[in-house]
Amino acid sequence: MKFDTPATSNPIDQMKIVGQPHDRIDGPLKTTGIARYAYERHDAVPDAAYGFVIGSAIAKGRIRSFNLQAAERAPGVLTIVTYLNAGKLGKGTYNTARLLAGPEIQHYHQALAIVVAETFEQARAAAMLIHVDYERSVGAFDMKAACDDAVVPPPIWGADPADTAVGDFAGAFANAEVKLDAIYTTPDQTHAMMEPHASTAAWNDGKLTLWTANQMIAWTVGDVAKTLGIAKENVRLIAPYVGGGFGGKLFLRADALMAALGARAAGRPVKVALIRPFIANNTVHRAATIQRIRIGTAADGRIKAIAHETWSGDLPNGLPEAGAMQTRLLYAGANRLTSTRLAVVDLPEANAMRAPGEAPGLMALEVAMDEAAQALGMDPVEFRIINDTQVDPENPERPFSQRNLNECLRLGAERFGWGKRNATPGQVRDGRWLVGMGVAVGLRNNLVMKSAARVRLNDSGNLTVETDMTDIGTGSYTILAQTAAEMMGVPLERVMVRLGDSSFPVSAGSGGQWGANSASSGVYAACVKLRHAVAERLGLDPATAQFSDGEVQDGERRFTLGQAAAESEIVAEDAIEFGDLDKQYQQSTFAAHFVEVGVDEATAEIRIRRMLAVCAAGRILNPKSARSQVIGGMTMGVGAALMEEMAVDKRIGFFVNHDLAGYEVPVHADIPQQEVIFLEENDPISSPMKAKGVGELGLCGVAAAIANAVQNATGVRVRDYPVTLDKLI
């Protein structure tokens, strides 16, 4: 089904099942331990051996030699694979560094070898006996220093230019009545998902099956094939349950490749989980940024000039953290400039982490907006409201498909009690706590991706949905079941959803918050076909047949869905394909975040007291799972604001605090209260579902709202994240 004109009314609009706060279907399976993750497939491969992956202890250089003798003789060891015996390997489309080093080493903890043994402990013990002789080279490990030679990166996500300019920024800024010019920094961050990168690999007659933790099944099948030099048809990926990803599992990583190499060499299935202290340096992370923002306004607060320049680091030919993306869209202003620069460093590979670009970009922009409002003596909510735009400010012929950001701000201000905020910092106390309120907004683009699904109807009137879509804890199972149930007029319990298998039709996958809207639209398309097939099978007119209560009816004629499939199962498969509505209209999602913090006046300890997010993100397919996404994002925003920072050892080129003891994320006690409000919206331009993404929106803007609240509480403006107590005293 091609989606190239705005959606008209369709069966989803009934909202009998879609739009209802159903519990997650996979919830009981996960909480009781029945759901099997990639490392737990004893059911499918009871004879799997264990692999342990070791990584480079230098960041740049060459392997002179390995001494594997002691490891090979260690108890239980079946095989050891290094680049010397791995066979010829290609490089995947989505990897910057090679997943198996040798002889060259590109970054710290780049995989060097997999040891396969009968038990995990044997594999790990043997791995410790491997001796590697390195030839070390000088690396660039200081991102800030490398910015002097920063390069213009290729188009961002293959599409958007690194730089944009409209009007005369320099002239307008020079003549602005109120000016802000400030530099902000955000640190390297790691995804810190619950389930580590894990895979079980099994070969059969030259065909590889990988049970793996992955967000994007089809991309990864392609990269497994490319890397191993085998046909895609010989690769099967299975990922029904994924224990979090946040972008860290978008691509093929060392767990899957090394498990495949180990299993081939051992002649036996092998399972690999990357140990936690290995993940930060071996896999990918969100790169640190340096961001310069200039805002020039008229005395009435209207923005005349806005510039956002960002720098981040990555390996040669790597990706920038595109921190200026939202600044191209968020506020009005005739004179504008954005730029994105990439500093080439030899640190581990940078790549996407939840809301790549916007999340760290808003951490800077939305503090700059707070500072500009302060300089104007204007309320920061009002300052944002008067600078709203309903068109793409870089391209005014292009409207937003929907933009209700001002409504988010107004409703949020009212519900949060913003009117009680004292604009002068340091004035409000609660015992030993200095109390402050902060606001910031979030914008995350709504991307759409082709997505296919197959729906089967059997003679009991039950439906099975099959698509290679993943559920990374987001609620995919539930919203896809809701979509099929609504379309076919059956209760939710009559729909079984099967996900995460490369033998199913190729979906949008889970990335860039495009999953919910795109994949449910794929199921919608398949159900449109299935309705047609059911009507035809029964000799009804597909145009007038009604589906409800497990029945299909046309005039006087009425059948159960089971009767339609009495002779044989009815199967329909289709894909949603998106035309260029996303070019004609700017599609984005919006949030207003309000936060209250307390800062201990003696110790400067910062505690979150209250959080509110008001989101405008099209139709909300399931308010319960959408709320879970947003409160998860808000929690991650607390981490970004107050805790998360990978410390770089600039002498050696690695992240020092590479485990969950040293890399802190919020726990329940850090989050006393959260509230989420969704505006009632339908966006007919986004898809037949009229929905958008929320998974990444929830993070966007949160950290800046917290930093702004800390400033309101204390009068101290911190421009370098995380906002830790040492920066307040």
Closest distance to ligand MOS from the beta carbon of 358 (Å)? 10
Q: How many CA atoms lie within 13 A of 547 on its CB side?
A: 29
> Nearest distance from residue 353's CB to ligand MOS, in Å?
5
Which of 305, 300, 292 has its CA nearest to residue 176? 305
Identify residues 512-541 at the interface with ligand MOS (CB under 6 A).
512
HSE toward the beta carbon, residue 367, CA cutoff 13 A:
32
Contact 534, 561 (CB under 8 A): yes
Near ligand MOS by CB under 6 A: residue from 79, 106, 164, 215: 215
Is residue 475 within the footprint of ligand MOS (CB under 6 A)? Answer: no
- In the shown chain, the binding pattern of residues 111 to 150 toward ligand MOS, with x for contact by CB under 6 A and - for none, equals ----------------------------------------
Output the smallest distance, CB 352 to ligand MOS, in A: 4
Stretch that binds ligand MOS, among 121-129, 242-250, 258-266, 390-398 (CB under 6 A): 242-250
- Angle, helices 358-376 vs 623-642, to 10°: value is 70
Active centre residues (catalytic):
696
Determine the 3-state secondary structure of 698 from DSSP.
helix
Interface mask toward ligand MOS for 46-65; x: CB under 6 A: --------------------
Q: Is 272 one of the binding residues for ligand MOS (CB under 6 A)?
A: no
Output the DSSP codes for 574-632. EEEEE-SHHHHSB-EEEEEEEEEEEEETTT--EEEEEEEEEEE-BB-S-HHHHHHHHHH
Rounded to whole angstroms, how far apart are CA atoms 715 and 718? 10
Nearer to ligand MOS, 304 or 692 (CB): 692
Residue closer to ligand MOS (CB basis): 55 or 512: 512
Nearer to ligand MOS, 132 or 256 (CB): 256
Q: Hey, CA dihedral for 11, 14, 16, 21, is it positive or negative? A: positive
Helix (H) or strand (E) run with residue 354 in it: none
Indicate which single residue of 11, 19, 61, 245 sits in contact with ligand MOS (rule: CB under 6 A). Answer: 245
Helix (H) / strand (E) element for 464: namely strand 463-466
**Sign (positive or negative) of CA dihedral 168, 173, 174, 177:** positive
- Give CA–CA dist 130/71, Å, rounded: 6
Radius of gyration of the chain (CA): 26
Shortest distance in whole angstroms from residue 484 CB to ligand MOS: 24
Q: Which residue is nearest to ligand MOS (CB)?
A: 247
Q: Does 509 bind ligand MOS (CB under 6 A)?
A: no
Nearest distance, CB of residue 148 and ligand MOS, angstroms: 29
Nearer of residues 19 and 247 to ligand MOS, judged by Cβ: 247
Minimum CB separation of residue 345 from ligand MOS in Å reads 21
Question: Using CA atoms, how far apart are residues 41 and 117, in angstroms rounded to an integer?
Answer: 17
How is the chain split among helix, strand and coil, in percent rounded to 5?
30, 25, 45
Burial of 398 (0-12, 13-18, 19+ CB in 10 A): middle
3-class state of residue 498 by DSSP: strand
Looking at 132, 250, 252, 364, which residue binds ligand MOS (CB under 6 A)? 250
**Rounded Cα–Cα distance for residues 338 and 336 (Å):** 7
> Does 640 sit near ligand MOS (CB under 6 A)?
no
Query: Mask of contacts with ligand MOS, 582-611, x by CB under 6 A?
Result: ------------------------------
In whole angstroms, what is the distance from residue 636 CA to residue 666 CA? Answer: 7
> Considering the rule CB under 6 A, would residue 470 count as an interface residue with ligand MOS?
no
Q: Of the candidates 247, 461, 633, 698, which one interacts with ligand MOS according to CB under 6 A?
A: 247
Find the shortest distance in angstroms from Cβ 199 to ligand MOS. Answer: 18
The 3-class SS string of 230-291 reads: CCHHHEEEECCCCCCCCCCCCCCCHHHHHHHHHHHHHCCCEEEECCHHHHHHHCCEECCEEE
Could you tell me the smallest distance in angstroms from the CB atom of residue 512 to ligand MOS? Answer: 4
Whose Cβ is closer to ligand MOS: residue 130's or residue 700's?
700
| Best CA proximity match to 22, nearest among 341, 481, 439, 591 | 481
| Cβ proximity to ligand MOS, 37 vs 219, nearer residue | 219
Nearer to ligand MOS among residue 250 and residue 306 (C-beta) = 250
Residues near ligand MOS (CB under 6 A), total = 11
Q: Does 699 interact with ligand MOS (rule: CB under 6 A)?
A: no
Which of the ranges 4-12, 48-56, 241-249, 608-616 carries the binding residues for ligand MOS, by CB under 6 A? 241-249
Shortest Cβ distance from residue 246 to ligand MOS (Å)?
Answer: 6
3-state secondary structure of 93: coil
Q: Which is nearer to ligand MOS, 56 or 629 (CB)?
A: 629
Considering the complex, state which of residue 363 and residue 368 has its C-beta at the smaller distance from ligand MOS. 363
Min dist. Cβ of residue 299 to ligand MOS (A):
40
Cα 213 to Cα 226: distance, rounded to the nearest angstrom: 19
What is the footprint of ligand MOS within residues 312-371 (CB under 6 A)? 352-354, 356
- Looking at 511, 522, 688, 698, which residue binds ligand MOS (CB under 6 A)? 511
CB 2, min distance to ligand MOS, A? 25
Residues whose CB is less than 8 angstroms from the CB of residue 72 and which lie 6 or more positions away in sequence, other chains included: 80, 126
Residue whose CB is less far from ligand MOS, 217 or 352: 352
3-state secondary structure 355-407: CCCHHHHHHHHHHHHHHHHHHHCCCHHHHHHHCCCCECCCCCCCEECCCCHHH
Segment lying near ligand MOS (by CB under 6 A), choices 137-145, 150-158, 246-254, 650-658: 246-254
CB 53 within 8 A of CB 111: yes
Q: What count of Cα atoms within 13 Å lies in the side-chain half-sphere of residue 400?
A: 26
Query: Based on CB atoms, which residue is closest to ligand MOS, 213 or 595?
Result: 213
**Alpha carbon of 351 to those of 69, 155, 459, 543: distances in Å?**
36, 15, 47, 47
Q: Which residues are near ligand MOS by CB under 6 A?
A: 215, 245-247, 250, 352-354, 356, 511-512
